[in-house]
Structure 1
Amino acid sequence: MSNLADRIESYLKKILEETDEGFVVLQRGVLAGEFSCAPSQINYVLGTRFTVERGYLVESRRGGGGYLRIVRLGWNQDSQFQGLIRQLIGDQLTYERALGLLKRLLEEEVVSSREAALIRTMLHPDSLNNDVFHPDILRAHMMKRILTTLSREDLI
């Protein structure tokens, strides 16, 4: 049986898939009640599994009239998501954040499992030479180049 965080994640992804709007609006307390958990557990799932790197924007307002809005960002050539990701990558990219982004590329079928494995190997800390470049800076540069290549129509 999966743990609580996995069940919450699966539930949220399922309702996002079922909506035509590309987003859902929920109340944290109601959601916590459905899973018999503390609202902080909902926050944990949102903060770790619904990140921008993984293709989600989460808006949250606390209080009596509070809500959660989870937006699934699209991946296509005209998508604002690609520009947003390039901005968020910035000049440095940790391996953990790179893996989150790579997971999203796999979910969107932008890359195959084999391609993802190759990219993961290329971005792994052991693959980056610390003597020449700072690994996070090099990883950010490499990921930006990968995204630029993936967004081109004229792939070789």
Structure 2
Amino acid sequence: MGISDLIASFLQEGLEEAKDGVLEVQRSDLAQRFNCVPSQINYVMSTRFSPERGYIVESRRGGNGYIRITRVQVDRQTLMMHVINSLGASVDLASARAILSNLVSAGALDESLGRTFLAAVGDKALASVPRENRDRVRADILKQVLILQV
């Protein structure tokens, strides 16, 4: 398990223990606890606690800087519409995998359907599409299948 995984797990546990779904931590304390540079904390925040994953992250830098992570609780339809609206003109495979995984984790899609959608937008399914067009086609397919779920 890498340092990013350890930091993310620590923060996730803290969020689960928080009564109100809000966790506030000092960036410097985290960096010191995990013996890493503050930019490593920033990396974890941007990759593991993004809005697409259902989190709002507020941050203040400086000596007394903090990070406040809030788990967003929304109904299924609102979550699906947020994801659809946040999809850009292109989506790479890793992002599609993360989006579908988050929808399954949130209970917005059942696991079997999530795997089916991932197969439909995977590189094997899009093998006949020129590589430079795959991310655009992937985004179009993902938007359409998710719209049908709303």
Deviations 1:71-111 (A, max 9, x none): 222342453x4443223212222211111111101211323
With normalisation by structure 2, the TM-score equals 0.82
The Cα shift of 1:10 comes to 0.9
Q: Return the alpha-carbon distance in structure 2 between the equivalents of residues 29 and 57 of structure 1.
A: 20
Could you tell me which runs of 5 or more consecutive residues in structure 1 were left unpaired when the two chains were aligned: 152-156
User: Which residue is equivalent to 1:67?
Assistant: 66
Matches for 1:89-100 after TM superposition, within 5 Å: 89-100=87-98
Against the structure 1 CA distance between its residues 123 and 72, is the aligned structure 2 distance closer, same or farther, given a 3 Å change threshold?
A: same
Q: Residue 54 of structure 1 contacts residue 103 of structure 1 at CA under 8 Å; is this kept in 2? A: no
User: Which residue is equivalent to 2:28?
Assistant: 29
Q: Residue 80 of structure 2 contacts residue 108 of structure 2 at CA under 8 Å; is this kept in 1? A: no
User: Which residue is equivalent to 1:76?
Assistant: 75
Percent identical pairs in the alignment equals: 34
Q: Residue 23 of structure 1 contacts residue 72 of structure 1 at CA under 8 Å; is this kept in 2? A: yes
The Cα shift of 1:39 comes to 1.4
User: Which residue is equivalent to 2:121?
Assistant: 123
With normalisation by structure 1, the TM-score equals 0.80
Against the structure 1 CA distance between its residues 71 and 65, is the aligned structure 2 distance closer, same or farther, given a 3 Å change threshold?
A: same
Letter in 1 for 2:123: P
Report how many residues are paired: 148
Q: Return the alpha-carbon distance in structure 1 between the equivalents of residues 82 and 62 of structure 2.
A: 29
The Cα shift of 1:150 comes to 2.9
Q: Residue 75 of structure 1 contacts residue 108 of structure 1 at CA under 8 Å; is this kept in 2? A: no
The Cα shift of 1:16 comes to 1.3
Deviations 1:103-148 (A, max 9, x none): 10121132333222211111112212425x9322222222222333
Against the structure 1 CA distance between its residues 77 and 108, is the aligned structure 2 distance closer, same or farther, given a 3 Å change threshold?
A: closer
Name whichever of 116-125 and 14-23 sits farther off: 14-23
User: Which residue is equivalent to 1:40?
Assistant: 39
Q: Residue 76 of structure 2 contacts residue 108 of structure 2 at CA under 8 Å; is this kept in 1? A: no
The Cα shift of 1:23 comes to 2.3
Q: Return the alpha-carbon distance in structure 1 between the equivalents of residues 115 and 39 of structure 2.
A: 33
User: Which residue is equivalent to 2:136?
Assistant: 137
Letter in 2 for 1:9: A
Q: Secondary structure at the match of 1:53?
A: helix
Letter in 2 for 1:114: S
Q: Say what the alpha-carbon RMSD is for the aligned residues.
A: 2.3
Runs of 4+ in 1 over 3 A off after TM superposition: 81-84
